[in-house]
Amino acid sequence: MSLFSSPFLAKPRKTHIPVTLVAEKNYDSWLAAQSAQVKALCNESGFNPKNAQTLPVRDKAGRLERVFAGVRSPVDVYDLAKSVAYLRKALSSDFLKDASFEIQADGFSQEDVTQAHIGWGLGCYKFESYKNNKSTSPSLVIAKSANKKRIQGFVESIFLTRNLVNIPANDMGPDELEKAAADLASRHKQEISVIRDKDLLRKNFPMIFEVGKASVRRPRLLDFYWGNPKHPKVTLVGKGVCFDTGGLDIKTSQYMLTMKKDMGGAAHVLGLAHLIMTLKLPVRLRVLIPAVENAIDGNAYRPSDILKSRKGMTVEVGNTDAEGRLVLADAIAYACEEKPELIVDFATLTGAARVALGYDIPALFTNREKIADEIKALSAQPEVGESVWPLPLWAPYRKDMDSSVADISSTGKGPAGATTAALFLKEFVDETIEWVHMDVYAWEQNGKAGRPQGGADTGLRAIFAWLEKRYGQ
Ligand code: BES
Ligand code: ZN
Ligand code: ZN
């Protein structure tokens, strides 16, 4: 199964249909310049580009001749996903198999055209590798006026992230996650190094080992680099809990059901890394993924166990379901040892972040207030259009994790669970290093155009936009 599979065509097919972008902002002047026939069609159908509506135009013989695709100004990344959703419904799969489409966007900027293509690509995303009957997407030939590398970078990265989350845990354990990371590294001509099983103890990653030791699928730490060593060091750390049963503090069935997505942080980090490497951001990139399964067994770690961490601090296990922060703590401490300029971690860390912000908005924590402002502002720009919201690293809550028997407890007492988890991680971050922690859901709950229900990218584009602004030439 390809984790990247491109929805784009290299060559047009027999029936090749132009898709004309129609901008909301100059709709009136656009309409005035159209033929009487098109004017009538637009007026009678109530076509309104503002809502990213799609309008098929047929010739006298009744054949599809062109498509008008309304877009906002600037183009929203999901505008064309709506057109794809429309075309899937309006046209038969037999027709779609023989047809190809091409975006025509005279008068649009390259950014807008590129964004439209990305939206079309995302609109084609479906997770159907386990289905015998697969659906057909309308295929697009990338227009010459678009930035092809950028389109491919975004679409492949997001497909990769979603596929990794969607593949069920029986086929996405630590072994398979390792293979996905190794394949990605080798695609970009890098080699991965992996510390497995008992070597985690020998090399001092006790908490990664403890969390993962109950599973027959052994725990490990994945690690690869990319880029010029002279460039600023940026380390991405992703929570790779391939399935979270909760451990001995077992989850109820309702909450366990979606826990194949508990490696969503790792999936985001791999997707983001692919984007950074494809678009050659001038950074020295490092990717660290603790890959484990939080399983139940006679030898599973227990609530009240006291673990030694890589950093030396002892941790009392408050709840075995708070496993993500333990594996991340050792990985983050390790990341800090080589003093990168920036660490960004992604993790499906707490249910509390969802209570605070719902499913769609990732919670952002950082040890630099300025960064919170920058990312929040950028994420709300229409070019990015996926909000990320800062929550406080409220130091007074640190005492909620005081333990009478260890240096810290893994869980707090108060209701601000996302903050407690972030404060726990902060204990393992070197203060001199800028650090961003993204508590993400990695799941689309309801399904929208271009975001089918299931594994989802949440905050990946926002963080990339920020990195690009910070490091891009
Ligand atoms: N993976 C979960 C967090 C989670 C649950 C994210 C549901 C998204 C949706 C994490 O390992 C966990 O179970 N956290 C506990 C922590 C608690 C025991 C302190 C939680 O959030 O309930
Ligand atoms: Zn858990
Ligand atoms: Zn978890």
Query: What pLDDT sits at residue 5?
Result: 84
Q: Catalytic one among 325, 354, 426, 451?
A: 325
Atom from ligand 1 closest to the CA of residue 294: 11
CB 79 within 8 A of CB 69: yes
Which protein residue's CA is at the shortest distance from atom 22 of ligand 1? 351
> What does pLDDT average to in each consecutive run of 10 residues of the chain (473 residues)?
88 97 94 95 93 93 97 95 97 97 96 98 97 96 97 98 98 98 98 98 98 98 98 99 98 98 98 98 99 98 98 98 99 99 99 97 98 97 93 98 98 96 98 98 96 98 98 87
Q: Could you confirm whether 251 is annotated as catalytic? A: yes
Which protein residue's CA is at the shortest distance from atom 5 of ligand 1? 351
Query: Any alpha helices (H) in 338-458, and if so which ranges?
Result: 351-357, 369-380, 417-426
d(CA 31, CA 35): 8
What's the token pair of residue 166? 């969607």
For ligand 1, say whether the CB of 321 is within 6 Å of any of its atoms.
yes
For ligand 1, say whether the CB of 411 is within 6 Å of any of its atoms.
yes
What's the token pair of residue 446? 């309801």
Nearest ligand to the CA of 421 is 1
Nearest ligand to the CA of 349 is 1
Query: What pLDDT sits at residue 4?
Result: 86
For ligand 1, say whether the CB of 262 is within 6 Å of any of its atoms.
yes
Q: Could you confirm whether 325 is annotated as catalytic? A: yes
Which protein residue's CA is at the shortest distance from atom 17 of ligand 1? 322
Q: Is the pTM of this model over 0.85?
A: yes
Residue 140's nearest CA partner among 107, 108, 78, 96 is 96
Q: How far is CA 408 from CA 201, 306, 314, 395, 427, in A?
A: 21, 10, 7, 14, 9
Q: Ligand 1 mean position to 288 CA, how many Å? A: 21
Query: Any alpha helices (H) in 188-301, and if so which ranges?
Result: 198-202, 206-212, 253-256, 264-278
CB 297 within 8 A of CB 291: no
Query: What pLDDT sits at residue 2?
Result: 86
Pocket test for ligand 1, best of 292, 346, 350, 425 (most atoms within 8 A of CB): 350
Q: Ligand 3 mean position to 242 CA, how many Å? A: 9
Q: Catalytic one among 13, 196, 251, 376?
A: 251
Q: Ligand 3 mean position to 377 CA, how many Å? A: 29
